Structure 1
Amino acid sequence: MSLSEKELLELKPDHVVDAIGEVCPHTLNLALAGLKKAKPGEIVVEITDHSIATKTIPAAVKMNNYGEFLGVAKHKGNYHIFVKKH
């Protein structure tokens, strides 16, 4: 699935993970904890100011088959990383 930033920001996530001010690996651990709480088909968004998380989270989700990475949107200086749980 390939969504534009506008389309991503219009999604209504089921879970929001606040990782502002956190750095790796904690940003990844927070995202994985959010996915663990989610039910299949639910959308989790992590909001972070740590740009490296935009690479580590999608890679971990894909490598471990935790869900479908939907994309990253930048909004108000933060990154919104969207994942749909399998």
Structure 2
Amino acid sequence: MALSNEELATLEADHTVDGIGEVCPHTLNIALKALKKAKPGEIVVEITDHSIATKTIPAAVKMNKIAEVLGIVSEKGEYKIFLKKL
């Protein structure tokens, strides 16, 4: 269920993690660690500047049924990846 950028902007993240300056697989590990701490239904947002993470993180959480990808917002060379823990 992808949300619009406007809908994503109104979401309040339960956990926000910083992946700025990190590359794969570290960006994925950061997201997985945050999701492990999150409770089902909580929103995890990873902020990253690594564009490849916008593909690897959603693919990994979907494949492993860890989280639902709510959407990705791109702004000024940074990406916010919104995940909802299953």
For this structure pair, what is the TM-score category when the shorter chain's length is used for normalisation? over 0.9
Structure 1 length normalisation: TM-score? Answer: 0.95
Structure 2 length normalisation: TM-score? Answer: 0.95
How far did 1:67 drift? 1.3
> What are the superposed Cα offsets for residues 53-83 of structure 1, whole Å, 9 maximum, x if unpaired?
0000000000000011111001343100010
Aligned to 1:75: 75
State the superposition RMSD in angstroms.
0.9
Separation in structure 2 between the aligned mates of residue 10 and residue 74 of structure 1, nearest angstrom:
15
Structure 1 portions without partners, runs of 5+: none
> What are the superposed Cα offsets for residues 12-66 of structure 1, whole Å, 9 maximum, x if unpaired?
0000010000000000000000100100000000000000000000000000000
- The count of corresponding residues between Structure 1 and Structure 2 is 86
Identical positions, percent: 72
Stretches of 4+ moved more than 6 A in 1?
none
